[in-house]
Amino acid sequence: MTTYSADVNEAEFPTEVIEESKKRLVVVDFWAPWCGPCRVLKPLLEKLSEEYQGRFFLAKVNSDVNQRLAMNHGVRGIPSVKAFRDGVLVDEFSGALPEGYIRSFLERLLPSEVQLLVAAAKQALTQNDEQQALAKLNEALAIEPENSAARVEKAALLFERGELAEAVQLVAGLQGDILDFERTQRLLAQLALAQKISQLRTPEVLQQAIARGEGALQARIDLAAHYASRERYEDALTELLESLKVDRHFADGAARREMLALFDILGADDPLVQQFRRKMAAVLH
């Protein structure tokens, strides 16, 4: 056993393969001592696991000793190589194939340099190291300026730092990182809200306008933006719903649009979203 490869049996498979594949690519080599091609492929995979220095983990399964495990994973001939990522099988091949093919197989499945830099930035943020995260994201964008994941991560970081102009520029025209569309939409909504707040009357003035009935529909919509910026989302959605009840068509359906934007910020699974979607539907229908 090394840091990069190990013999794995049926009892160890859930931990050494399935759980480990949630951290990095795991390549499983199903082999047997009597198999001639296995004696060619196994050392080659071990060599590559050392060369790649932990970018993937090689799990070596003796299919003679672990027949049920091999059967459960559809092994019909050996050597059989199966790659796991995020707990599921993502690719496979059979036979002692040439080194060039195996390298291509690995490169297709391994994260790119930019993906590794973005992952490193996320890790730095978990340790509250914003400078390190920003450095990694800048490095990623220097390699691939249009990479949507790096742009979204940097924009989110700048948003937290209050650097709105650059954050907006990074996501301008971005329709959503395909790896995390919901998060991208949430960020776009947050940036739009932050830009809007600076142009509004204060909450106190808006509350007075509502009390006097002077432009109350717009005042409620604007007050909702203030509440949302302070993460008082239930208050914000309540104000928007009240405006919607009075006139659903006001300002081209502004209250409905703002409610949908808040749904993006909160995420589809948030209980408030589910609650206010039902209320909005009741008003509109």
Residue 186 counted as domain residue: no
Model pTM greater than 0.75? no
| CATH number of residue 58's parent domain | 3.40.30.10
Within a domain: 185: no
Q: Is residue 165 part of a domain?
A: yes
Rg from Cα positions in the chain: 27
Q: Look up the domain containing 242 and give its range.
A: 203-284
Query: Does the annotation count 38 as an active-site position?
Result: yes
Residue ranges in the chain modelled with pLDDT below 70 = 1-2, 175-179
Q: Last residue of a domain, which of 77, 109, 141?
A: 109
Q: Let me know if residue 194 belongs to a domain.
A: no
Asked if residue 193 belongs to a domain, the reply is no
Please identify which of the residues 26, 28, 35, 70 carries the catalytic annotation.
35
Question: Residue with structure tokens 């590559």?
Answer: 48
Nearest-angstrom CA–CA distance, 154 and 137 = 6
End-to-end CA gap in the chain: 65
pLDDT tens digit sequence for 203-261: 999 999 999 988 999 999 999 999 998 889 999 999 999 999 999 999 999 999 999 99
Please say whether the beta carbons of 147 and 113 come within 8 A: no
The answer as to whether 196 is a domain residue is no
Q: Which tens digit of pLDDT belongs to each residue from 77-87?
A: 999 999 999 99
Is 245 one of the catalytic residues?
Answer: no
How many residues in total does the chain contain?
285
Residue 83 located in a structural domain = yes
* Residues 221, 223, 225, 228, CA torsion sign: negative
The domain tally of the chain equals: 3
**pLDDT the model gives residue 197:** 87
> What CA–CA distance (Å, rounded) separates 113 from 117?
6
Q: Does some domain include residue 170? A: yes
Domain boundary among 73, 89, 109: 109
Among the options 38, 121, 141, 155, which is catalytic?
A: 38
